[in-house]
Amino acid sequence: MLIFRMGEKQFLNLAENKQLIGAIQRKEQKLGDVLTKEEIEYNLKRICKLVLAAVKSIEIKKGHDPYKHGLDLIKKAREIAKKLNCPTDKIELIGCAAYLHDIGKSMIDRGLVNKPSQLTFSEYREIQKHTVIGQKILKPFVYLGTLVRHHHERVDGRGYPDGLKGNKIPLGSRIISLLDVYNAITHSRAYSPSRPKEFAINEIKRCAGLPFDIAYLKTFRRVYLYELSRNLTQEGYKNKILDILCKKWEFDFKRENRKSIKEIEEDYLHTRLRQERQFDRKVARVFLRLLR
């Protein structure tokens, strides 16, 4: 298979190369139907080895590299899976899926993936497709593909693409989902600056239904609101918060334009600070212990 004939460097460039992805898809579509179970399992082991070799070469290079995100994910995903007594072969595959989880984004418009401002509802829908596309790219690798497909599910069933709940979500996907959010908070992205580790820990606790420091998070939310208000008129600022509350995050929030800015700010803080069940509590506990 094409993917296994590539060297480390090409593999690292995989997610950036649309032409290559297209070639892999075409080849794998042909091969997918004729591969035996043994062949698929053999290939899974090889893809794991390739990923780990690539990670090792990154470690040697050190310094800045755009794949640091993937490297962190592999290490932490494997450690969590191990602590949760996963069988050894699954631990390797969970690490591998953690590395490849966003591979579907390579088929989505670059401008949209790196958009520095808030996404509109339709843009958000477009981005969501990366889970299903990722599974298609990894078609012959059934287990890897499944983990990639479900890395944005939430244990309360409000995730995507299938709205799976609790243990119906594969363990590997539950691990990747938590690590992805932790990394997104602690690293700067096109649309948001990095936040301190303590903030991320409290966010994870809040989203896993564990006790968290409300005062600490409230301060950070206020800073976010302050950042949002810069360069905007009062009306623009009010509409912006309403957009955040209504369009993307808070599906059950009712648009209420007659409210004052202060009331809308309070609504925002209230909805953003309530406890949620996005993450698996068991996975979150193991992860938080590893961070100590």
The binding site for Fe ion (CB under 5 A) comprises: 102
- The nearer residue to Fe ion, 180 or 267, going by C-beta atoms, is 180
- The nearer residue to Fe ion, 92 or 102, going by C-beta atoms, is 102
Burial 156-179 (b: 16+ CB within 10 A, else e): eeebbeeebeeeebbbbbbbbbbb
> CA 98 → CA 8, 52, 68, 126, 245, distances in Å?
17, 12, 12, 21, 30
- The nearer residue to Fe ion, 102 or 267, going by C-beta atoms, is 102
CB of 179 to Fe ion, least distance (A): 11
Q: Which two tokens stand for residue 218?
A: 């409230």
d(CA 184, CA 102): 13
CB of 131 to Fe ion, least distance (A): 6
Length of the chain: 292
CB of 149 to Fe ion, least distance (A): 10
CB of 188 to Fe ion, least distance (A): 17
Question: Which candidate, 67, 50, 69, places its Cα nearest to that of 13?
Answer: 67
CB of 281 to Fe ion, least distance (A): 22
Task: Give one DSSP letter per residue of 156-177, joined into a string.
Answer: TS--SSS---GGGS-HHHHHHH
- The nearer residue to Fe ion, 73 or 286, going by C-beta atoms, is 73
- The nearer residue to Fe ion, 93 or 242, going by C-beta atoms, is 93
Q: What SS3 class is residue 256? A: coil
- The nearer residue to Fe ion, 134 or 238, going by C-beta atoms, is 134
- The nearer residue to Fe ion, 28 or 102, going by C-beta atoms, is 102
Q: What is the identity of the amino acid at 281?
A: R
d(CA 263, CA 267): 6
Residue whose beta carbon is closest to Fe ion: 102
- Would you say 155 and 178 are in contact if contact means Cβ atoms under 8 Å apart? no
The pair phi, psi for residue 9, each rounded to 5°, is -60, -45
CB of 176 to Fe ion, least distance (A): 8
CB of 257 to Fe ion, least distance (A): 33
- Would you say 3 and 96 are in contact if contact means Cβ atoms under 8 Å apart? no
d(CA 225, CA 57): 41
d(CA 144, CA 135): 8
CB of 157 to Fe ion, least distance (A): 18
